A and B are shown apart, each in its own frame.
Chain A
Amino acid sequence: MIDRPLPLNPDLRDKRRYLAYQVLSKSKLNQVDIHNAVWHGLLNFLGEHGSAECEAGVVRTVWDEAKQQGLVRCNHTSVERVRTALALMQRISDVPVLVRVLGVSGTVKAAQRKYFGERDLAAFVQ
């Protein structure tokens, strides 16, 4: 017996978007601090109801420590609002930062391939 609901049909599923962002800062920042700051930024700008509507969230599993790059999730109608929320972050742990969105993709896998330089077997075949 599987203890979870069946997956939805593709036409009923949410159209998600994943925004790859990069944090530029004077000094190196902690991953946890950045993730918390991104959440605060989203909640500050969109509010609790707004971020629920946007289905916004931080993808904690995808993170590039060296480049300080991460992923934020939202639905396909809220990309601009989430982008603005990220742009309005100006300090993390008292360090001035510049957050820029590198691009948007429809799946985590595609985002990892395009913006995090991850390769799969298909790349080796080519």
Chain B
Amino acid sequence: MRDRTMKFYDLCLRSNLCGGTSSVEELTRYAELLGYSGIVVCDVWQGPEKLAVLKAELARVQAQTKVELLLGAEIAVNSPSELSTALDAVRSLVPIVAVSGGTFAINQIACNDSRVDLLLHPELGRLDPGLDEACIAAAARNGVAIALDFRQVLYNYRKQRSALLQRMTANVKLAVASRAPLVVVSSAQSVWDMRDPRELIALASVLGLDFARSFATLSDAPARIVERRTGKPSVDAEPEQVVGEEKPETAQELNKQSDDAGPMPDMAAKM
């Protein structure tokens, strides 16, 4: 059984208002089915007018659902000066700002700018991982999360997928060494690209993260970003208690319960 207090966030989705094929309503319905607590619907930044349309749609759908809907902006630019201009314009308008990486200069600037929340696919279209130790250290310092893009893995095959996984693994190793935040995003453009949080966690695990860190890529790390940008606490103050489960009051009772439970079960199999 999954921990009931654990919240999962997908920090990058695209609706039909910004290049995707599914509506915000459909994305929300599937997010609820798959067990997400919140999703960020990103708009590829082209100006405040287009963003306002998506914002109004999110407000409309939010009234009908329990899933937390957040507005995001994905900045896809070619030069560092354009990135700086776009960040100036967009930062105050949306809670989550993602930068589409790939060019080393863009990756470097995004890691060094604390206004950026996510650096998406820094390894895209490259023969190297796209990040070095200095970049990752800067990302850790500025709280910029390195995003592992599931969609890139999903839509690449054979040789390309193998190379992509290799570069992602290199970035994961660097991020773990420098303690930079890592998140897994589905970057879904339709509901068929979305996956259960547990499946995205499995991808993180396959890329070389241990079990706890894999879970953090979809729960703790994104929750911290959401909390920092929205100001709302993302984790409930008191954890939910399962009905019928009694809390042990003394140390003896606690020991007795753990003796009755037997050895620790295999966590991977239990989830």
Residues of A at the B interface (CB closer than 8 Å) are 17, 44, 76, 79-81, 83-84, 86-88, 90, 96-98, 100-101, 104-106
Contact = CB atoms under 8 A, between A and B. Distances in A.
Contacts of A100: 34, 195-196, 199
B198 A84 contact: no
Interface of B is mostly: helix
B154 A90 contact: yes
Nearest to B150: A87
A14 to B, nearest CB: 13
B242 interface: no
6 contacts: A79-B269, A88-B153, A90-B192, A97-B192, A98-B195, A100-B34
Given A76-B269, A86-B199, A87-B203, 13 more contacts: A76-B268, A79-B269, A80-B206, A80-B268, A81-B206, A87-B196, A87-B200, A88-B154, A98-B30, A100-B34, A100-B196, A104-B269, A106-B269
The majority secondary structure among interface residues of chain A is: mixed
Interface in B215-271: 266, 268-271
B134 interface: no
B36 to A, nearest CB: 13
B195 A87 contact: yes
Nearest to A83: B202
B191 interface: yes
Given A88-B154, A90-B154, A101 B196 contact: yes
Interface residues of B, number: 27
A97 B150 CA distance: 15
Contacts of B154: 88, 90
Given A83-B198, A84-B202, A98 B192 contact: yes
A126 B72 CA distance: 51
B23 interface: no
B206 A84 contact: yes
Interface string B146-176: 0000100111011000000000000000000
B87 interface: no
Q: Which 9 A-B pairs have the closest CB atoms?
A: A87-B199, A96-B192, A83-B202, A80-B205, A100-B196, A80-B202, A84-B202, A84-B206, A104-B269
A44 B159 CA distance: 11
B194 interface: yes
B202 A104 contact: no
Contacts of A104: 268-271
A54 to B, nearest CB: 12
A106 B268 CA distance: 12
Nearest to B266: A76
Of A76, A86, A90, A97, most B-chain CB atoms within 10 Å: A90
Contact of A101 (B155, B193, B198, B206): B198
B190 interface: yes
Nearest to B199: A87
A96 B190 contact: yes
Contacts of A79: 268-269
A74 to B, nearest CB: 10
A106 B198 CA distance: 18
Nearest to A95: B192
Interface centre among A83, A84, A86, A100 (most CB of B within 10 A): A84
A76 B150 CA distance: 24
Given A80-B205, A80-B206, A98 B269 contact: no
A104 to B, nearest CB: 5
Interface string B40-81: 000000000000000000000000000000000000000000
A99 B192 CA distance: 9
B212 to A, nearest CB: 13
Contacts of B199: 83-84, 86-87, 100-101
